[in-house]
């Protein structure tokens, strides 16, 4: 499978909240690093995060995609458009994805999660007032 095919499959699974396919795509020892907290998540931690994100803000779409294939993966800039409790929120991001064979071995994610966190906090507060 080509690097682009692996990456396309990855983003399709993220958009759909398909954690079963993401489990197949991630290498067992995959690391997912975030610029905003300088933490590298394990595959399992990333799957939980993506599952939660899809539950509260999915389905999501990737728009304005600009991708550059490099020797061992891709660098992709895009805008994530969220739904659910984050309806209409647009989050610009950039990812460096390292592909090994037909698996994603590493992701370096550059994004500002503050707008999403703020929206989810406001949404939770609003729901709590209604209950």
Identify whether 14 is part of a domain: yes
CATH of the domain at 70: 3.10.450.50
Domain with 56, as residue range(s), is 3-126
- Side-chain half-sphere exposure of 69, counting CA atoms within 13 A: 7
Identify whether 115 is part of a domain: yes
In this prediction, residue 128 carries a pLDDT of 56
Identify whether 38 is part of a domain: yes
Backbone φ and ψ of 128, nearest 5°: -65, -35
Identify whether 131 is part of a domain: no
Q: Compute mean pLDDT per 10 residues along the chain, 131 residues long, and list them.
A: 97 96 98 97 97 91 97 97 93 98 98 92 67 59
Identify whether 36 is part of a domain: yes
In this prediction, residue 7 carries a pLDDT of 98
In this prediction, residue 58 carries a pLDDT of 85
pTM of the model: 0.90
In this prediction, residue 109 carries a pLDDT of 98
In this prediction, residue 95 carries a pLDDT of 98
Instruction: State how many domains the chain has.
Output: 1
Helix (H) or strand (E) holding 102: none
Q: Is the CB of residue 91 less than 8 Å from the CB of residue 112?
A: yes
């Amino acid at each position: 499978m080509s690097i682009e095919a692996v990456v396309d499959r990855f983003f399709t699974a993220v958009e759909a909240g398909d954690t079963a396919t993401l489990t197949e795509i991630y290498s067992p020892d995959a690391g997912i690093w975030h610029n905003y907290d300088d933490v590298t998540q394990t595959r399992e931690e990333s799957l939980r995060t993506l599952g939660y994100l899809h539950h509260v803000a999915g389905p999501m779409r990737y728009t304005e995609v600009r991708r550059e294939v490099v020797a061992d993966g891709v660098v992709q800039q895009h805008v994530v458009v969220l739904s659910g409790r984050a309806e209409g929120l647009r989050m610009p991001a950039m990812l460096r994805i390292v592909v090994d064979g037909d698996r994603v071995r590493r992701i370096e994610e550059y994004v500002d999660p503050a707008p999403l966190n703020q929206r989810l906090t406001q949404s939770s507060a609003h729901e709590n007032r209604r209950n």
